[in-house]
Amino acid sequence: MQIIIIGSGPAAFAAVQAILDQDPSITPTIVAPSTSTEAHPFEGTPPSMWPDKAYDELNTMIKKKSGSSFMPVRSHFGNMFTSWKGTPLIKSDYFGGLGKFWSCGMFPLSPSELIKWPFTYEEIKPFYKRIGEVVGISGKDDQLNDYFGDSFATRPPVYKPPIAQKFYEKFSQIKNKHPDFRFSIGVNRLALETRVENEKSCINCGYCMYGCFKKSLFNPADSLKEFEEDKRIKIINDKALGVFKTINGWDVKLANNQTIQADKVFLCAGAIGTSEILLRSFSLFNKEVFIDDNENYLFGLISNKAAKKNPSSFSFGTLTLGVLSKDKYAQASLTTLPDMFLDYIIPRRINKYLQPFFKIFQNRILLGRLHIDGLSASKYSMSLTKEGVLNIKQVRTKASDTQAKKILKALDINLKGTNFRRIKGLMIHAPSSAHYVGGFANGEHGVCVKADGVLKEGLYVCDSSAFPANPSQPLTFTIMANAMRVVTKAIKDRN
């Protein structure tokens, strides 16, 4: 049986894993616009041993590509995602997709959210479990389970720097004081290696923003390359333009003018990439489809007492704040100031002397990133001209400002008695969360994705292009679990 998977991000990884779980005799072919994995130049060497000039050269390169924004842009040692032209939406043509740059937060959808989805919690739960096993999730059962039911953790929780530990202890004890918003606190659930006995175990060096030198963070590219080395998959380096029905199955037309044939095609090119392929495949020229982002807001918390010396850190969220109001859920991740901030702003040879001062801030401050659900978030329209030009334009933005302000005000009330307060005036709207859904969620223009991911016999949608809503918690765990669900059923039903 010939199987083609289009894409190389988390959805594609999960699709491959599902095939290998069901029938290891099948060798699927992956089509991806890039197949190199760009090894980290300091792989295996901790940041404390990198030469000073490596930091400076790297930061200069990042600033050249992204501008000197306050929040340094996440890169893989200078390799960066790019934007869909003229919009804040981003894409990655690197092998591994956006999964090469993500922050590894792994949250399921809650049973209550899934009531409105094409699959139930009971249907997706075994696939959350399987993804938890193969990817590995660091975390633990805590207050957040009241909403999510299960942490799906398979590895010890991430290390909490002292200031994060202090906040966790204080906030866990508070009784919710606001009548409309209920807060809960927990550790982040992360696709991160934390088992100390494992050679990839995170050492809490705090330099994750440059990509992990130890491969502690899950990157689908590494797993797919291992599958290729074991000859369990084939990889074709090209871009898929469209998918066309034939008497025998499906033709996938590639950008280099070649066509490859398959019995089954699994679309895993991301919400925007897959929507583009579908617009072209079904000749939907100059027809609009819509993509939902989810809005997020940066804020800061400061403690009136410094935590004890900060020995080490982790650059992404170590804590997670859940906020429930009526049936709406919002979520914030809380992180300490990453060590690389100072390197990013001031050259190494000078900043060495400033590090003791920086530690003072690091031991007092937590940065939060609040995500509001996509119902009231940024929205984009997408269309394809006959000449093949993709146009994307923003049709709604900052619609979540009011809700974000309400949540942060409610947080102020709950912070009383914790020794923490919010940093006044700091609420920065981030233009994109990189969590995208939609395109073909509602049978747009007669293209209907069924509940089991089937679009037409032998053609399946495995990413968030058919998701009906964009929740506030990060989506990739659900993208992977759903890809696995769709592919497992397709392989079981093949006869």
Which residues contact ligand FAD (rule: CB under 6 A)?
A: 6-12, 31-33, 74, 81, 90, 92-93, 97-99, 101-105, 239-240, 268-270, 273, 277, 434-435, 463-464, 474-476, 479
* Shortest distance in whole angstroms from residue 349 CB to ligand FAD: 29
11 binds, among ligand SF4, ligand FAD, none (CB under 5 to 8 A by kind): ligand FAD
For position 399 contacting ligand SF4 by CB under 6 A, the verdict is no
* Shortest distance in whole angstroms from residue 218 CB to ligand SF4: 10
Q: Which is nearer to ligand FAD, 243 or 407 (by Cβ)?
A: 243
Q: Which of residues 153-212 bind ligand SF4 (CB under 6 A)?
A: 202-208, 212
Please provide the size of the chain in residues: 495
102 binds, among ligand FAD, ligand SF4, none (CB under 5 to 8 A by kind): ligand FAD
Q: How far is residue 295's CA from residue 471's CA, in Å, rounded to a whole number? A: 10
- Token pair, residue 447, equals 């293209």
Q: Which is nearer to ligand FAD, 303 or 464 (by Cβ)?
A: 464
* Shortest distance in whole angstroms from residue 212 CB to ligand FAD: 13
202 binds, among ligand SF4, ligand FAD, none (CB under 5 to 8 A by kind): ligand SF4
Backbone angles phi, psi at 454, to 5 degrees: -75, 130
Q: Which is nearer to ligand SF4, 315 or 335 (by Cβ)?
A: 315
Give the dihedral of Cα atoms 187, 101, 128, 135; nearest 10 deg: -90
Q: Which of residues 312-331 bind ligand SF4 (CB under 6 A)?
A: 314-315
End-to-end, the C-alpha distance of the chain in Å comes to: 11
For position 216 contacting ligand SF4 by CB under 6 A, the verdict is yes
Backbone angles phi, psi at 11, to 5 degrees: -65, -45
415 binds, among ligand SF4, ligand FAD, none (CB under 5 to 8 A by kind): none
204 binds, among ligand SF4, ligand FAD, none (CB under 5 to 8 A by kind): ligand SF4
Q: How far is residue 407's CA from residue 393's CA, in Å, rounded to a whole number? A: 29
Q: How far is residue 418's CA from residue 411's CA, in Å, rounded to a whole number? A: 11
Q: Which of 427, 378, 375, 372 is nearest to 403 (CA)?
A: 372
DSSP state of 281: H
* Shortest distance in whole angstroms from residue 171 CB to ligand SF4: 23
Asked if 191 and 63 touch (Cβ cutoff 8 Å), the reply is: no
Q: Collect all residues with Cβ–Cβ distance below 8 Å to 218 and sequence separation of at least 6.
A: 99, 104, 135, 136, 191, 192
* Shortest distance in whole angstroms from residue 309 CB to ligand SF4: 17
- Token pair, residue 71, equals 């929040």
Q: For residues 42-68, b (16+ Cβ closer than 10 Å) or e, as one string?
A: beeeebeebeeebbbebbeebeeeeee
434 binds, among ligand FAD, ligand SF4, none (CB under 5 to 8 A by kind): ligand FAD
479 binds, among ligand SF4, ligand FAD, none (CB under 5 to 8 A by kind): ligand FAD
Q: Which is nearer to ligand FAD, 269 or 330 (by Cβ)?
A: 269
* Shortest distance in whole angstroms from residue 86 CB to ligand SF4: 33
268 binds, among ligand SF4, ligand FAD, none (CB under 5 to 8 A by kind): ligand FAD
The one-letter code for the residue type at 221 is A
Q: How far is residue 183's CA from residue 310's CA, in Å, rounded to a whole number? A: 27
Q: Which is nearer to ligand SF4, 214 or 485 (by Cβ)?
A: 214
Strands (E), 209-346: 234-237, 240-245, 250-254, 259-262, 264-267, 289-292, 296-303, 319-325, 328-336
* CA-angle at 290, arms to 98 and 488, nearest 5°: 55
Report the interface residues with ligand SF4, using CB under 6 A: 202-208, 212, 214, 216-217, 314-315
